[in-house]
């Protein structure tokens, strides 16, 4: 768990500084939109976050809220401030994929649910209003790898602002040889698994559901027995969808207004502090292996923070579409200065030299990214 989520001790330290700056006035909202299967109460208990918030409430007059931003999860109340829908339309980073929107998929959700949010000329996202009401966003992600976008750092963490997971576009159905980006090449067995998964997601309890699950297990065993490449669900370097969705969400967080429009100028500063005290490598985000580094990496621009962190991990930002494309956004840009002008304690440090600050070998990339994100000069 310590390699997967930001530790409560890090949040406590940041919260103490925020409360000190507020001087007894204002309001603090700590919120997230975790994986749909996450039990929020158990999660905040396990990470120590509940105890952190309770302690802060006893010692401060500031209103401190702890919220699960998911709109529909069992009995979750969601964001009490409500939600705002944004349509980035042709300005969405997903717009370049054109008619492929009908292929957009999110695991564990029916395709029709996602297609309601993403069409050829419309790309809509449902965002927790509390995020948009904030004067300042303090972004506290974990430092780790990610099978769909390479790394999950400051930028990818903004998936935690959505109210409906159905509006996310994680990949496009099918293999690269079939017009999608879910996995390399083509595989009929994988296609069958995809189809069975969709039937299972929409099937009511009963004999049909059990038969579908049995068929799925048999098909998966065949895939393993035949030694077919295990990559699926967009978990590889050829995923050309997930990074685009991520950049849309960050632009909304930076420029979004509570009426569902984006302003021409940033609406709130974003302070990002990466928890790398115990980082994660390998099959992140959910199966990352703990990697102790003892570092915190922070800054006022999430693009700069992520590019610096990637180099520290031993990866090349130019080989990771999320970090490379973040520099090229013409409208609602995310890098407002030279993204590689990195300074530590006031001293300029070349981006290419950041991996020298790391103790030990480069981070292990996810399986589907091996050979496609490493820095050429990374140490063995």
State the pLDDT at residue 372: 97
Residue 341 pLDDT greater than 80, yes or no: no
Residue percentage of the chain with pLDDT more than 70: 94
Q: Other CB atoms closer than 10 Å to residue 203's CB: what's the count? A: 15
Compute the average pLDDT of residues 366-375: 97
Cα separation, 376 vs 316, whole angstroms: 8
Cα separation, 373 vs 145, whole angstroms: 11
pTM for this one? Answer: 0.91
Residue 261 pLDDT greater than 90, yes or no: yes
Q: The tokens of 230 are what? A: 């295990």
Burial state string for 72-88 with b = 16 or more CB within 10 A and e = fewer than 16: ebeeeebbebebbebeb
In contact, 279 and 291? CB cutoff 8 Å? yes
Q: The tokens of 304 are what? A: 């700069």
Residue 152 pLDDT greater than 90, yes or no: yes
State the pLDDT at residue 193: 84
Residue 231 pLDDT greater than 50, yes or no: yes
pLDDT tier at 217 (50, 70, 90 boundaries)? very high
Cα separation, 128 vs 145, whole angstroms: 26
Q: The tokens of 279 are what? A: 């980082």
In contact, 165 and 109? CB cutoff 8 Å? yes
pLDDT tens, residue by residue, 103-129: 899 877 878 889 899 998 899 999 999
Who's near 231: CB < 8 A, 6+ residues apart? Answer: 183, 184, 367, 368
Most confident of the ranges 62-66, 108-112, 192-196: 62-66
DSSP letter string, 168-187: ---EESSBGGGT--SBSS--
Compute the average pLDDT of residues 191-200: 82
State the pLDDT at residue 258: 96
Q: The tokens of 338 are what? A: 């030279």
Look at the block and give the residue holding tokens 């090349």.
Answer: 316
pLDDT tens, residue by residue, 82-110: 999 999 999 999 999 987 778 899 877 87
Compute the average pLDDT of residues 52-59: 96
Cα separation, 284 vs 366, whole angstroms: 7
Work out the mean pLDDT of the chain and round it to a whole number. Answer: 91
Cα separation, 206 vs 130, whole angstroms: 40
Q: Lowest-confidence range among 82-86, 328-332, 374-378?
A: 374-378
Q: The tokens of 148 are what? A: 């769909």
Cα separation, 36 vs 286, whole angstroms: 13
Angle between helices 188-202 and 207-225 (to 10 degrees): 160
What is the separation of C-alpha 156 from the centre of its chain, rounded to a whole number of angstroms?
3
């Amino acid at each position: 768990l310590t390699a997967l989520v930001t530790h409560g001790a890090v949040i406590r330290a940041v919260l103490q500084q925020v409360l000190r700056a507020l001087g007894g006035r204002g309001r603090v909202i700590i919120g997230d939109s975790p994986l749909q299967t996450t039990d929020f109460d158990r999660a905040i208990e396990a990470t120590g976050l509940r105890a952190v918030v309770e302690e802060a409430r006893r010692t401060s007059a500031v209103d401190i809220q702890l919220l699960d931003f998911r709109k529909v999860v069992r009995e979750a109340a969601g964001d009490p401030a409500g939600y705002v829908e944004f349509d980035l339309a042709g300005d969405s980073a997903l717009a370049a994929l054109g008619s492929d929107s009908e292929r957009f998929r999110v695991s564990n959700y029916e395709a029709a649910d996602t297609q309601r949010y993403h069409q050829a000329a419309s790309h809509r996202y449902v965002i927790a209003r509390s995020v948009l009401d904030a004067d300042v966003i303090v972004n506290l992600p974990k430092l780790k790898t990610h099978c769909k976008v390479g790394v999950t750092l400051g930028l990818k963490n903004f998936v935690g602002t959505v109210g409906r997971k159905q509006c996310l576009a994680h990949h496009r159905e099918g293999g690269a040889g079939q017009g999608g980006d879910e996995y390399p090449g083509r595989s009929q067995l994988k296609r069958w698994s995809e189809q069975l998964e969709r039937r299972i997601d929409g099937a009511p309890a009963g004999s049909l559901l059990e038969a579908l699950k049995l068929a799925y297990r048999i098909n998966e065993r065949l895939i393993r027995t035949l030694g077919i490449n295990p990559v699926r669900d967009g978990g590889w370097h050829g995923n050309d969808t997930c990074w685009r969705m991520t950049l849309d969400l960050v632009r909304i967080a930076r420029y979004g207004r509570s009426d569902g429009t984006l302003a021409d100028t940033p609406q709130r500063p974003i302070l990002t502090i990466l928890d790398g005290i115990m980082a994660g490598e390998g099959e992140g985000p959910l199966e990352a292996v703990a990697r102790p580094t003892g570092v915190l990496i922070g800054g006022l621009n999430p693009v700069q923070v992520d590019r610096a962190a990637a180099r520290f991990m031993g990866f090349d930002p130019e080989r990771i579409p999320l970090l490379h494309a973040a520099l090229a956004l013409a409208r609602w840009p995310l890098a407002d200065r030279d993204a590689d002008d990195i300074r530590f304690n006031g001293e300029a440090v070349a981006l290419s030299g950041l991996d020298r600050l790391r103790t030990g070998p480069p981070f292990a990339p996810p399986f589907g990214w091996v050979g496609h994100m490493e820095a050429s000069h990374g140490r063995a």
